[in-house]
Amino acid sequence: MAAQLIQAAYLIAAILFILSLKALSSPATARRGMFMAEAGMLFAVIGALLDHRIVEYQWILAGFALGTAIGAPMAIFMPMTAMPQRIALSHAFGALAAVLVGVVKYNHELTLGTPSAGFMAAIGFEVLFGALTVTGSLMAFGKLQELIQGAPITYKGQNFVNIGLFFGTLGLFGFLIFNPSLTNLFYAMIVLGLAIGVMIVMPIGGADMPVVVSLLNSYAGLAASATGFAIDNKVLIIAGALDGASGFFLSILMSRAMNRSFANVLFGAVGAAPPPSAAGATEERTVVRYTPEDATFLLENAQSVIIVPGYGMAVAQAQHILAELGDLLTAAGSAVRYAIHPVAGRMPGHMNVLLAEADVPYDVLLEMDHINDDFANTDVVIVVGANDVVNPSARYKKDSPLYGMPILNADKARNIIILKRSLKPGFAGEDNELFYDPKTMMVFGDAKQTLTHMVQQVKKKVAA
């Protein structure tokens, strides 16, 4: 009877998880959805606590206490700009749990006799995916937090080392399936998994992080799902598969938005890395420096304004002051909207969260496909800390690393204001000719300071 009750609890949990993700289709229903997911988790935990194999509770309770003590403050105090790091870090936590459960389960199975090949395959996937997700996520965290150099770290023969490591590990895994009692090999496989995680994230640069973070999200889910196979638990399989599908979907979406294949993101950095200075030095082009006052003057008569935010906005923490400028312009009668490129920032949806934090209503945050045709009849575009996503050479310059990437049509607008620190090319190392366009007004400086100036100017005009 208890067994059926537990299964029922797991079943309800699985249904609630699916419904909760469905509720994320609109911001209006999303919070209700999260409530369902929380309820689902509660059902699953109650089900697990009723398991007949549990004989003592002190370790479990201590784990709950410690996990809450770490997780809750992190959720409450983490600034929104640190969200990519936090997500990367939490993938490491989830995967760590999967690896440890795998180790415990494996050792327990050994005491009962020789584990079956099916069990070994499941547990092997579990610890491998888990281990590489742990170190991969920690590397991603380090890069996003700038503890490690964000630029790709490459060395000669890197791909050979990685491929060798990968196939070596795969071979070991295959051997282990048929020789389950070789415990040392089991642990060696975990160590190799940890090494793979470091190796695959090391050569990946900051701007490719949206793909990596999504991919690790997928791996964390697959590790959870493999745990479900190993301990024969359906709710783990389902929840893990949902998570895996989500990460997979997002990484495809991100790769597509950068016009790059998975393989290119993962292995592309090796040997490439063109010196960015070379392109800029050969052609000496000049731009006129404008002041925030000039920019404000231009905005005064604008009927329609589109704001294009990029990673620079996140770095300068300029979302609040940007939203204030947007508000003032709206109040003065302009139609103000925001154009969000899928890979702007360091993770999927990064810009949306920051602008939501600054109280920008989500109805004016528009995806690339929905706003791209409107640039042509827009008076002013304000580009805040974005570069590659508005670089027109992506359309026609065949030798450009950006070629083929869908971009925001900022160059089609009547006037363009670009807030930037310097003329430095974006992550792709490609000079942006939009900066030299006669319609473009370059305003150099820290985005937050420039925007503060502009807001003061607009306020003065309104008061006068």
Residues 33-92 that bind another protein (CB under 8 A): 33-34, 37-38, 40-41, 44-45, 47-49, 51, 53-57, 59-60, 62-64, 66-68, 70-72, 74-76, 78, 80, 83, 86-87, 90-91
At 417, give phi and psi (nearest 5°).
-110, 125
Provide the minimum distance between the beta carbon of 121 and another protein in the complex, in angstroms, as a whole number: 8
**Residue in 147, 179, 234, 274 binding another protein, rule: CB under 8 A:** 234
- Positions in 272-331 near another protein (CB under 8 A): 327, 330-331
User: For residues 249 and 427, which CB has a smaller minimum distance to another protein in the complex?
Assistant: 249
Q: CA-based angle 321:325:331, to the nearest 5?
A: 140
* Residues 306 and 338: beta-carbon distance below 8 Å: yes
How many residues interact with another protein (rule CB under 8 A)? Answer: 131
* Residues 308 and 382: beta-carbon distance below 8 Å: yes
Kindly indicate which of the ranges 185-193, 216-224, 399-407, 447-455 contains the residues binding another protein, using the contact rule CB under 8 A.
Answer: 216-224
What letter represents residue 3's amino acid?
A
Q: What is the dihedral of CA 183, 186, 187, 190, to 10 degrees?
A: -170
Kindly indicate which of the ranges 8-16, 139-147, 198-206, 304-312 contains the residues binding another protein, using the contact rule CB under 8 A.
Answer: 8-16
User: For residues 204 and 239, which CB has a smaller minimum distance to another protein in the complex?
Assistant: 239
Provide the minimum distance between the beta carbon of 140 and another protein in the complex, in angstroms, as a whole number: 13
The β-bridge partners of 442 are 289, 418
Instruction: Spell out the residues 6+ positions from residue 371 whose beta carbon is closer than 8 angstroms to its own.
Output: 306, 337, 339, 408
Provide the minimum distance between the beta carbon of 296 and another protein in the complex, in angstroms, as a whole number: 19
Tell me the C-alpha distance between 464 and 452, whole Å.
18
**Catalytic site positions:** 388
**Residue in 197, 205, 244, 312 binding another protein, rule: CB under 8 A:** 244
**Residue in 153, 165, 188, 249 binding another protein, rule: CB under 8 A:** 249
Q: Does 459 bind another protein (CB under 8 A)?
A: no
Helices (H), 181-233: 183-201, 209-231
**Residue in 85, 233, 409, 440 binding another protein, rule: CB under 8 A:** 233
**Residue in 145, 168, 188, 248 binding another protein, rule: CB under 8 A:** 248
Parallel, antiparallel or unpaired: strands 380-384 and 440-444: unpaired
- Positions in 87-126 near another protein (CB under 8 A): 87, 90-91, 93-94, 96-98, 100-101, 103-105, 107-109, 111-116, 118-119, 122
Q: Does 229 bind another protein (CB under 8 A)?
A: yes
Per the structure block, which two tokens stand in for 371? 């706003």
User: For residues 110 and 165, which CB has a smaller minimum distance to another protein in the complex?
Assistant: 110
User: For residues 231 and 269, which CB has a smaller minimum distance to another protein in the complex?
Assistant: 231
Angle, to 10 degrees, between the axis of helix 350-357 and the axis of helix 319-331?
70
Per the structure block, which two tokens stand in for 244? 């895996």
Consecutive H or E run containing 443: strand 440-444
Provide the minimum distance between the beta carbon of 111 and another protein in the complex, in angstroms, as a whole number: 7
**How is the chain split among helix, strand and coil, in percent rounded to 5?**
65, 5, 25
**Residue in 152, 205, 228, 309 binding another protein, rule: CB under 8 A:** 228
The β-bridge partners of 309 are 384
User: For residues 146 and 232, which CB has a smaller minimum distance to another protein in the complex?
Assistant: 232
Per the structure block, which two tokens stand in for 207? 């701007």
- Closest to 140 (Cα-Cα) out of 82, 212, 218: 212
Kindly indicate which of the ranges 22-30, 151-159, 296-304, 391-399 contains the residues binding another protein, using the contact rule CB under 8 A.
Answer: 22-30
Half-sphere exposure for 135 (CA within 13 Å, toward CB): 18
- Closest to 125 (Cα-Cα) out of 223, 238, 231: 223
- Positions in 326-365 near another protein (CB under 8 A): 327, 330-331, 340, 342, 347-350, 352-353, 356-357, 359, 361-365
